[in-house]
């Protein structure tokens, strides 16, 4: 595997961690809409870290998510609940960004944050053998 792919994977994983940290801070400061957005981007950046290893990327979020589902969920490499996590987070993030009067409760934001933590952790564990090579 080319070093550039490993570097890109690590960079994207670090970005995911940064988004996760931001989501937590926003949640703690009652900025629920922004928190769910950062939780989604933590998951999204984690998926893009996977794609970096394959030398694949897409210009649209839906393309990234679709590839993830096809290559990692349908093949059984990762549990199908992670497909649900990112798909729901994507929909919520779209609603918070584009739908007028879309409300996000503290409970909703906390759930998205907790899912993002779990998602990030599983991606990091999945990618760990790659980092060690």
pLDDT at 73: 97
The pLDDT of 97-122, averaged and rounded, is 96
The pLDDT of 18-37, averaged and rounded, is 97
Integer Cα distance of 90 and 106 in angstroms = 18
Give which of 133, 116, 132, 129 is closest to 47, Cα–Cα: 116
- Using pLDDT thresholds of 50, 70 and 90, give the confidence band for residue 2: confident
- Using pLDDT thresholds of 50, 70 and 90, give the confidence band for residue 3: confident
The pLDDT of 73-99, averaged and rounded, is 95
Residues contacting 123, CB < 8 A, separation 6+: 13, 16, 46, 47, 49, 50
Q: Which residue has the tokens 């599983």?
A: 122
Q: Enter the pTM of the model.
A: 0.94
pLDDT at 131: 58
Considering the chain, what is the average pLDDT of its residues? 94
- Using pLDDT thresholds of 50, 70 and 90, give the confidence band for residue 1: low
């Amino acid at each position: 595997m080319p070093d550039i792919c490993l570097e890109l994977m690590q960079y994207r994983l670090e970005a995911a961690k940064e988004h996760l940290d931001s989501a937590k801070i926003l949640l703690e400061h009652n900025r629920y809409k922004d928190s769910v957005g950062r939780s989604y981007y933590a998951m999204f950046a984690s998926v893009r870290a996977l794609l970096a290893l394959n030398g694949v990327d897409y210009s649209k979020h839906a393309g990234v998510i679709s590839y993830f589902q096809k290559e990692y969920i349908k093949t059984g490499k990762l549990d199908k609940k992670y497909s649900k996590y990112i798909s729901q987070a994507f929909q919520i993030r779209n609603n918070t960004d584009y739908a007028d009067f879309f409300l996000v409760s503290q409970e909703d934001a906390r759930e998205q944050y907790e899912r993002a933590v779990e998602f990030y952790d599983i991606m990091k564990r999945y990618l760990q053998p790659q980092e060690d090579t």
